[in-house]
Each structure stands twice: as C-alpha cells, then as structure tokens.
Amino acid sequence: MHIDLIIESENVFTGTDAATKPAAVATSGDRIVAVGPRADVHAFARTRNEGPAPEVRDFGDALVVPGFHDSHLHFFHSAVYASPLATMFLGENEADCVERMRAFAEQRPSGWLLAQGWREYRWDPPVLPSKRSLDEAFPTRPVALYSGDAHTLWLNSAALSELGLTRDSVPPAGGTYDRDEAGELTGIVREAAAMELMPQIMGSFTDDEVASAYRGFFARLAENGVTSVCDMSLMAHPGLDFIRDDVHAALLERGELTARVHLFPTLTGDMGRFETMRARYTGPCLQAPGFKQFFDGVSSQHTAWVTEPYANARVEGDCGRPTVDAAVMRSYVLAAAEQGYPVRIHTIGDAAIHAALDIFEEARAKFGPLPEGRRNCLEHLENFLPEDLSRLAELQVVAAVQPPHMTLDPGGPERDLGPGRVPYMWPLRTLLDRSTVLAFGTDSPVVDVNSIDVLYSAVSRQDPGTHEPAGGWLPGERIGMAEALRAYTQGSAAAAGRRRELGTLEVGKLADIAVLDRNLLTCEIEDIQKTKVLATFMGGRCVFGNETRGRG
C-alpha cells in the first residue's frame, strides 16, 4: 500500500459522533485508509507504507470535516448564471431590473440577454412586471429574466416573437401565459410553460461556452468545500431536464471533474434514457442513481398544491394544483420501484407531500424497500400536514431541504398560508426528532452554493444576508451544528444512494474532505459566516487551497 497523504488537525469531525477531536486522516489513492490519533496514524503509515513518505498536511486547529454534498441543484443553470453568459440579481423594482439589464447588455453586445433572481413580492412596489418596460429598453433584442424561485419567466416582445408566442398560443399542461384584459400576452410565463421555453433560450450558447461555464462552477463548488452534488432535473417534461451528462462526461475524461456528480433525469413512462446513463456512468465520480419528478410549484405564486385554500386566495378554491396528475405520478413511481430505482419528487405544498407519501407507501408495500441502501426522497417539503411528519422516517424517505429558502420571502408564509399552517413549515427539529434523514442543498441557482450560509440558516433560522428575524423564524425548529453538518454530508450521501462510500471520515470511504478555518461546533452563531474554506480534497486530491495552517 502506498499512503499518499496525511491530513491532521486538533479539530477533526468524522461525522460518526457529535464532537471534534485531535486526529489524522490517511489516504491511499482515492480512499481513506486510517483515521485516529495522530501518533497511531503516523505509526500505521510507517509500518504499512510502500514507497516515498506521504505528504503531511497539518492544519493546526482548523476544522476538518467530510466534504459537503449539495443534495439538490441544477448544474446547467447554476453554471450559466455564474458565468459571463448571464447575470443574477434580485433588483429593487421593475425599473431597477431594466437598468441592470442595460448595464449587462454593454458586456454582452449580441444575442439573448438572460438573467435570474427577480422576486416581485420583495420589490417596492411589490407588483408583477410586464414586457412594456423591457420593450422600451430593448425593442429588437430578446430578453428573458428568470424569477428567483425558477418558476416564472419575464420576457419582452422580441423574446416572445423569437419563441413563436402569440395571443393565440396555448400553454402546455401545468403552465400559463399571463394575459391582460385585452387578451394580449404580458410577457409573464409560468411553471411548465416557462420551463418549456428554456431550451430555445439556452440553445443560443455554444457547447464550448457551456463547458467553460461548467468548469467555472466546479471551481465555485470547490471554493465552498463541496465535493459532491446531485444534478436534478429542472422540469417534468421529457427532454427539458437540462441534465447534460455529455458535458460532465467530457470533463471527467479530461480529468477536470472536481466534484462527484449524481444525475437525476426526469421520470417518465420511458426509462430508457436513465437506464442508458445508469449503465454508462458507473465510476466513483459520475453516476445516475435515480429519477426526479415534480408534483407542484411554489407557494409564493400559489402553484404549490395545498389541502386548504390559500389564506389570500386569488380565486375560489385556490389550492394550487398538481403539475403531474396523481394517477400518472403513481404509475411512474410504481414502475420505478418495481425496478428498484429511487425517485425524488418536488413537493412543496402539504397536499403534494401527502400524495407523494401515499404513493411511496404503496410502492413499498408492493415491492419492499429499495435495494442497496437506495432511498426515495421528497424535495423542499415546505408545508406539512401534522399527520405526515412521522411518515418519512417510517417509509425511509429522505427529506431533501434547502435551509436558506426559509427566509427568501419574509412574511410570505404568513401571507399565503395563514398562521395555522406556519408552525408546520420547514420543521427541521421535528423531523430529526422523529428520526427522519435530512439532506441539505441549495437548489442553486435559486440560492448560491455558499456552504457556510446553508449551515448558518439551519442552526439560526435567520436569513444569511439580513440576519432577520432576530432570534430566528420559528426558533423551536432550529437544529444543532453537528446535526447540520451530518445533513450536509451523510444525509445528502443517503439521498444519492452513496451512504456506504460518502459522508463520513471512515476507513474505506472516499477521501472527500473540507477544511474550515474555525471550529463551527464551538463558535457563536454570529461568527459562523466569518468562516472560510481553507482547502478541499476530492478523492484525496486537493482541488482548492494549497496552504496549511500552523497551530494557533
């Protein structure tokens, strides 16, 4: 055996318990071969090593943890929006967004102008935009602004024309084209209709531009200590999931993949595309573990599927609706379960969560638990029926949640759902107390892949930007830092079906490691966001940071 590397620190969090301890971690190839007291690991290296002495990286009192694993992001869009191909901003109001697009146009003088991040309910005034303001600034150039929640497009007339949309256009099932009183398109396109248009817009980018954007985003992940991700289908319609396995595979072949990628394409009646991926990508860096589907939209747009009407109902019986018919979803999930394939379902509203759990329960009764440690997952889970809080653990369903989402719309839950339902929103403490496996992520590009913000949000239930509300939103649902770290490592590994290989620092597991400049388990909440990532290792290879840190 050749031992390549020994990483040591006064504060090592292996993930197997809730504390840190002085320790060393030895790697050989891409695996961990020893973990324990420094003296023991060095003795092991002296007696077992064949060849040159291993490199020793002493990080002093820095915190060594398993590499972070983002359980839910959309790689294509994250990469594009983080690149010079597009821009991101919330904006203060409609006019401010238009001015920001003018500035962006100076950097990108031709082709589509693309942005993401606007949320009209956080503007002053909080009103929907329309094509008119964009038309004045860009009468001939197509412009598309994707909303911050990734469910709505704001287009100008040139974009509508380029996309072939007219007042007579009929939206796809699960989507809408907003119209004014005269029946004219306003430029606002929602849900499935918005997502269906993205391939035409994104098709303006070349393969080389996309590959460059992917490299940049991998670097961004490494800077945040993220060594593994789940690349999730963007939407339910066939061919529109933006799972670009070809780009990942090309980067892997060139040795440029610096995080492990788990592909979750759309579940449809035809599983052929997934099964081809599953057979082709079997190595430790690129795999296709399962499927993604969508049961509803988002609460802020009243497209999340809820049991009782919204508190501020826009129409009679305003409960949102399923984006995929429940009978169709049932047939899809049962077919996947029969083959032993896990399914991850976007469920935000309590009706969507309940219906999905019913389907998973039926699948488990018919076909038994999924094999080889695989898990079905529910994604987002923002609003529960009280009787469903225990069912995830009972059915071995992972709760894949994104802590920074809790404060994206201050006052929104109270406004949209009313005080009676708010206590059952993002109930992280309750879910853990009922033995649910939590898997953390960001849903990037909805929020940035800032790993420290994920952890801060989970333990404080405060917005990472504003630090509001004081004391945390529903503070009784806060969780501890060790629990948050486990959710962001081994919980996410469970969501990817790789709990046996990833998520803890143990002998035999892949050597994915992040090093942080402070001990998050002992620092004050207000100091968490001061934390910097010093180094990131994927499979024992340093993919970010080169400096060790002396004992402080």
Q: What is the chain's pLDDT, residue by residue, as a tens digit (552 residues)?
A: 999 999 999 999 999 999 999 999 999 999 999 999 999 999 999 999 888 999 999 999 999 999 999 999 999 999 999 999 999 999 999 999 999 999 999 999 999 999 999 999 899 999 999 999 999 999 999 999 999 887 899 999 999 999 999 999 999 987 899 999 999 999 999 988 998 898 889 888 999 999 999 999 999 999 999 999 999 998 766 667 899 999 999 999 999 999 999 999 999 999 999 999 999 999 999 999 999 999 999 999 899 999 999 999 999 999 999 989 999 999 999 999 999 999 999 999 999 999 999 999 999 999 999 999 999 999 999 999 999 999 999 999 999 999 999 999 999 999 999 999 999 999 999 999 999 999 999 999 999 999 999 999 999 999 999 999 999 999 999 999 999 999 999 999 999 999 999 999 999 999 999 999 999 999 999 999 999 999 999 999 999 997 544 332
In Å, how far are 41, 194, 197, 263 from 231, measured between CA atoms? 36, 20, 20, 5
Q: Decide the pairing of beta strands 377-380 and 398-401.
A: parallel
Q: Of 394, 193, 190, 209, whose CA–CA distance to 304 is shortest?
A: 190
Question: What pLDDT, on a 0 to 100 scale, did the predictor assign at position 551?
Answer: 36
Question: What pLDDT, on a 0 to 100 scale, did the predictor assign at position 239?
Answer: 67
Q: In what order do the strands lie in the sheet with 291-294?
A: 291-294, 343-347, 377-380, 398-401, 438-440
Contacts of 458 (CB under 8 A, 6+ apart): 403, 428, 440, 478, 479, 483, 484, 487
Contacts of 102-107 with C-beta under 8 Å, sequence gap 24+, read: 102/137, 105/138, 105/141
The CATH code of the domain at 205-502 is 3.20.20.140
Question: What is the architecture, at CATH level 2, of domain 86-203?
Answer: Roll (3.10)
Tokens of 478: 């806060």
Amino acid at residue number 72 = H
Concatenated DSSP letters of 296-333: ---GGGT-S--SS--TT-SSTT-----SS-HHHHHHHH
Tokens of 231: 């690349």
Residue 458 to residue 475: CA distance in whole angstroms: 10
Residue 190 to residue 174: CA distance in whole angstroms: 9
Question: What pLDDT, on a 0 to 100 scale, did the predictor assign at position 552?
Answer: 29
Q: How far is CA 205 from the centre of its chain?
A: 23
Residue 136 backbone phi and psi in degrees, to 5: -65, -40
The conformation of residue 387, written as its DSSP 8-state character, comes to: G
- The H or E element that residue 459 is part of is helix 451-460
Residue 155 to residue 164: CA distance in whole angstroms: 12
Concatenated DSSP letters of 333-378: HHHHHHTT--EEEEE-SHHHHHHHHHHHHHHHHHH-SPSTT---EE
Locate the DSSP E strands across 172-290: 175-179, 185-190, 226-232, 260-264, 286-287
Contact 233, 266 (CB under 8 A): yes
5 beta partners: 27, 55
SS3 409: coil
Q: How far is CA 537 from the centre of its chain?
A: 21
Residue 309 to residue 518: CA distance in whole angstroms: 46
Q: Decide the pairing of beta strands 286-287 and 68-73.
A: unpaired
CATH 3.20.20.140 domain residues, the chain: 205-502
What b/e string do you get for 354-369 counting C-beta neighbours within 10 Å, with b at 16 or more?
bbbbebbeebbeeeee
Tokens of 53: 């002495």
Q: Which residue has the tokens 């923002």?
A: 382
Contacts of 294 (CB under 8 A, 6+ apart): 235, 236, 323, 324, 345, 346
Question: What pLDDT, on a 0 to 100 scale, did the predictor assign at position 505?
Answer: 98
Q: Of 261, 263, 246, whose CA–CA distance to 210 is shortest?
A: 246
Asked if CATH classification 3.10.20.30 holds for the domain at 5-66+510-544, the reply, yes or no, is: no
Contact 224, 204 (CB under 8 A): no
Number of H helices, E strands in the chain: 17, 23
Q: By CB neighbour count within 10 A (0-12 exposed, 13-18 middle, 19+ buried), where does 58 fall?
A: middle
CATH 3.10.310.70 domain residues, the chain: 86-203
For the chain, the maximum distance between any two Cα atoms, rounded to a whole number of angstroms, is 82
Using omega within 30 degrees of 0 as the cis cutoff, is the peptide bond preceding 475 cis?
Answer: no
CATH 2.30.40.10 domain residues, the chain: 5-66+510-544
Question: What pLDDT, on a 0 to 100 scale, did the predictor assign at position 547?
Answer: 57
Q: Decide the pairing of beta strands 291-294 and 286-287.
A: unpaired
58 beta partners: 8
End-to-end CA distance of the chain: 33
Residue 457 backbone phi and psi in degrees, to 5: -60, -40
